Structure 1
């Protein structure tokens, strides 16, 4: 199976129902929040330098989603927040999450000086560390940070 990353400009045209259902079953509500916040305009990933991406397979099925926002927890506009990152269980450990993460990082490093994220999942902790994030829970809203030497 081949996978492709696409930038999402309108979440309403994507079928992410399986991502919503599976994430809810796993106890995560952030994909559901992604949908509701996009619909009510709270977060459409449309502020300067923000972006939402999805991964689709060669059959057009959305298998992962995630985006980058200006961090709502930082006073500095050059601090980004990884948001709503989710990969379907059926494609985990196949490079899909890494592909999506690398696309987000490649986008972010041109606009931000660091990316923060919060997780309480041991699997996500291992994934973020493997992607170059450092564990840093010095702020209550953050568990991992990826710092860029300078904006490229």
Structure 2
């Protein structure tokens, strides 16, 4: 069994995300590409208080998953965090990588927020996030799921 490690990413530009960008685009998602675009422009660098970007690395040190935590930009309520730009490489799905990353983000969110929100529009995403304890409800702006922390 491979060993996976979660590490905070302080500068995403120091990592090769090309494979994750291409895979996500093949899946019909643009959010990993948007992560890079926003990071390069300075729009979202996950560097405010309570914000983090984490990567999961395999035993060869290859980045196989990424996900971030922001202050929710769609509300003025500072008690709400948002899980964003969450993606797991295809060959590592259903191996616990996504859960490992999500649990790290949830643990960090608990230190700063009372509620954690996210948006997904896929059935697989819904199943994954509800298995982690998120409730499906759009009661928060531009979100599909939330978790009381």
Instruction: Compute the TM-score of the two structures, normalised by the length of structure 2.
Output: 0.97
Match of 2:7 in 1: 6
Aligned pairs, how many?
148
Match of 1:104 in 2: 105
How far the C-alpha of 1:16 sits from its partner, in A, is 1.2
Match of 1:71 in 2: 72
**Could you list the per-position Cα deviations for residues 16-62 of structure 1 after superposition, in whole angstroms to 9, with x for gaps in the alignment?**
11100000011100000000100110000001110000000010111
Match of 2:142 in 1: 141
How far the C-alpha of 1:140 sits from its partner, in A, is 5.2
How far the C-alpha of 1:78 sits from its partner, in A, is 1.3
Match of 1:50 in 2: 51
Per mean C-alpha deviation after superposition, the further-off stretch among 2-11 and 137-146 is 137-146
**Could you list the per-position Cα deviations for residues 82-102 of structure 1 after superposition, in whole angstroms to 9, with x for gaps in the alignment?**
100000110000000000000
Listed as ranges, the gaps of 5+ residues in structure 1 are none
* Aligned pairs (5 A) from 1:29-40: 29-40=30-41
Residue 129 (structure 2) pairs with residue 93 (structure 1): no
Tell me the SS of whatever aligns to 1:36: helix
Q: Aligned partners of 1:135 and 1:39: how far apart in 2?
A: 32
What's the RMSD between the two structures over aligned residues? 0.8
Q: Aligned partners of 2:108 and 2:63: how far apart in 1?
A: 20
Q: Aligned partners of 2:139 and 2:51: how far apart in 1?
A: 25
Could you list the structure 1 runs, at least 4 aligned residues long, displaced by more than 4 angstroms after superposition: none
Instruction: Compute the TM-score of the two structures, normalised by the length of structure 1.
Output: 0.95
